[in-house]
Amino acid sequence: MEINAYHHNETQFDYFSENYQRFQDDFYRYSNLKIPLAFLEDELLRMMSASTINYFRIPKRHSLDHRDHTFVFNVRTDARNRLIRIYHYQYHYFD
């Protein structure tokens, strides 16, 4: 199944970094979603990649403090394979 030219193996989070651990911590600190982050990761990456944006938002109806929360990433290409884009978590803010 191909959706908006998204290629699963070409887009990924930097899973083995402190940034990713900080992203997980921030996500669970603010999210009220009943679905674990592990099950949402592919959809988040697909959405950001297809939209060519470097952030996603948890709307206030799905946050613990009833605020919109935005998670911002820096997107880099892998030095060994220029087809792979890696999303490095930068920061979070709320509206």
pLDDT tens digits for 58-92? Answer: 999 999 999 999 999 999 998 888 889 999 999 99
pTM score of the predicted model: 0.86
Q: What is the mean pLDDT of residues 15-35?
A: 95
CA 31, 6, 72, 68 torsion-angle sign: negative
Decide: helix, strand or coil at residue 6: coil
Q: What is the distance of C-alpha 88 from the center of its chain?
A: 9
69 in Cβ contact with 29 (< 8 Å): no
Q: Which of 9-13, 23-27, 29-33, 65-69 has the lowest mean pLDDT?
A: 9-13
Q: Of 6, 24, 7, which is closest to residue 89 (Cα–Cα)?
A: 24
DSSP-derived letter for residue 42 is H
Q: What is the mean pLDDT of residues 3-32?
A: 86
